[in-house]
């Protein structure tokens, strides 16, 4: 087995593998509970002792409503000298107001979080059994999570992941039925759909996850107080986001618009080192070939369109490639 270093390692520095794979969108409380149950110890690694940026909540203080848009960060309050390795405490502190809150003072906000967590768990279970028939509840959880919790909250990121799986599954289903990418249908939930639209929604969901992961890794405060995540590329690329990047590129290639291919190429270049290490060079070479073929196809379409317009001698000509012969006459 080969390991690749993603950052500088000092001589003599201890290297520890993580028991938790998805650390950017798994909150400290869940990580520690899992390790207590499976490994029988309370984790006190640097990630578990620092501020938990993937679990940020709205400030409960009445003075922090409206324009201030204050949020609270939760911090570990363990005593390193405490011999009890099964208990831990969390305190909350406002980013703008600097007020500190106990868990009891955060009770109302924590209850809202818990309700969203139950809705998420129910939908995740349904999706695993392929019994989710529309994306409306998924979108609702995301909207409520951003509004009542924070834009980088782990439940928001994980629901975007579920939305990707739903949209990707719908895309695969329509393609298996022989429906072409841009053929439009009416969905059971009242929306006009097509394979291309589902591919775009799947890609957009993955890109939102990438934005959230990059903000969490950078410990970004701006996106928390602004109420929206920063655009991807604002912060450094984060290794934990590479699988979401891969899925996004895959679906953007399907959409194959000029904008989607530009976004796919930019994501690919930005995450190339991480993708080669995690996904594998063979898979990435295949992905690069797909992007190249789509790009060549686009360039041919643009060239054909230019020929049509010149043959018509009309700058406003809207003829398609299929009309070229008739138009040329």
Nearest to 78 by CA among 101, 103, 49: 49
Total domains in the fold of the chain: 1
In a domain, 3, yes or no: no
- The reported pLDDT for the residue numbered 321 is 45
Residue 74, number of CB atoms within 10 A of its CB: 21
Give the whole-angstrom CA distance, residue 265 versus residue 192. 28
State the number of CA atoms in the 13 A half-sphere of 55 facing the CB.
25
Sign of CA dihedral 132, 58, 228, 27: negative
Spatial CB neighbours of 318, under 8 Å, sequence gap ≥ 6: none
- The reported pLDDT for the residue numbered 292 is 74
- pLDDT tens per residue across all 329 residues of the chain: 677 777 788 999 888 778 887 888 899 889 999 999 999 988 888 888 888 889 989 888 877 765 456 888 887 765 555 555 555 567 899 888 889 998 888 999 999 999 999 999 999 999 998 889 999 999 999 999 998 899 999 999 999 999 999 999 999 999 999 999 999 999 999 999 999 999 999 999 999 999 999 999 998 888 777 777 888 788 999 888 888 999 999 999 888 888 998 999 999 889 988 888 777 666 667 667 767 766 666 665 555 555 555 555 544 454 444 444 444 43
In a domain, 6, yes or no: no
Radius of gyration over alpha carbons of the chain, in Å?
24
In a domain, 264, yes or no: yes
- The reported pLDDT for the residue numbered 61 is 85
In a domain, 201, yes or no: yes
Single pTM value for the model? 0.83
- The reported pLDDT for the residue numbered 155 is 96
Give the whole-angstrom CA distance, residue 52 versus residue 210. 18
Task: Give pLDDT tens digits for 98-134.
Answer: 899 988 889 999 999 999 999 999 999 999 988 899 9
In a domain, 9, yes or no: no
In a domain, 79, yes or no: yes
| 3-class DSSP state of 192 | strand
Task: Give pLDDT tens digits for 136-195.
Answer: 999 999 999 998 899 999 999 999 999 999 999 999 999 999 999 999 999 999 999 999
Domain holding 273: CATH number? 1.25.40.10
Which residue range forms the structural domain that includes residue 256? 23-307
| Distance set, CA 65 to CA 57, 60, 97, 135, 148 (Å) | 13, 8, 11, 31, 12
| 3-class DSSP state of 159 | helix
In a domain, 263, yes or no: yes
- The reported pLDDT for the residue numbered 65 is 61
In a domain, 319, yes or no: no
Give the whole-angstrom CA distance, residue 191 versus residue 236. 37
């Amino acid at each position: 087995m080969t390991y690749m270093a993603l950052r500088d390692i000092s001589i003599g520095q201890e290297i520890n593998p993580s028991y938790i794979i998805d650390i950017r969108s798994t909150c400290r409380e869940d990580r520690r509970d899992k390790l207590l149950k499976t490994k029988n110890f309370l984790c006190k690694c640097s990630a578990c002792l620092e501020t938990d940026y993937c679990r940020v909540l709205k400030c409960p203080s009445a003075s922090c409503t409206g324009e201030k848009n204050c949020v609270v960060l939760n911090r570990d309050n363990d005593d390193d000298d405490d011999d009890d390795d099964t208990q831990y405490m969390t305190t909350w502190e406002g980013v703008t107001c600097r007020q500190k809150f106990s868990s009891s003072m955060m009770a109302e906000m924590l209850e809202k979080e818990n309700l969203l967590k139950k809705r998420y768990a129910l939908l995740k279970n349904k999706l695993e059994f392929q019994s989710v028939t529309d994306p409306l509840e998924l979108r609702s959880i995301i909207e409520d999570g951003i509004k009542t919790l924070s834009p980088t909250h782990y439940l928001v990121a994980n629901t975007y992941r579920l939305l990707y799986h739903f949209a990707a599954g719908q895309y695969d289903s329509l393609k298996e039925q022989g429906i072409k990418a841009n053929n439009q249908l009416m969905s059971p939930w009242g929306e006009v759909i097509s394979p291309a639209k589902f591919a775009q929604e799947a890609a957009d969901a993955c890109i939102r996850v990438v934005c959230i992961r990059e903000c969490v890794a950078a410990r970004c405060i701006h996106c928390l107080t602004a109420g929206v995540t920063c655009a991807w590329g604002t912060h450094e690329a984060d290794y934990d986001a590479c699988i979401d990047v891969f899925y996004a590129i895959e679906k953007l290639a399907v959409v194959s618009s000029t904008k989607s291919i530009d976004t796919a190429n930019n994501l690919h270049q930005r995450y190339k080192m991480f993708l080669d290490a995690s996904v594998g060079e063979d898979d990435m070479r295949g992905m690069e070939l797909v992007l190249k073929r789509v790009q060549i196809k686009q360039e041919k379409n643009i060239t054909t369109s230019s020929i049509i317009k010149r043959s018509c001698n009309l700058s406003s000509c809207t003829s398609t490639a299929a009309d070229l012969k008739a138009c040329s006459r």
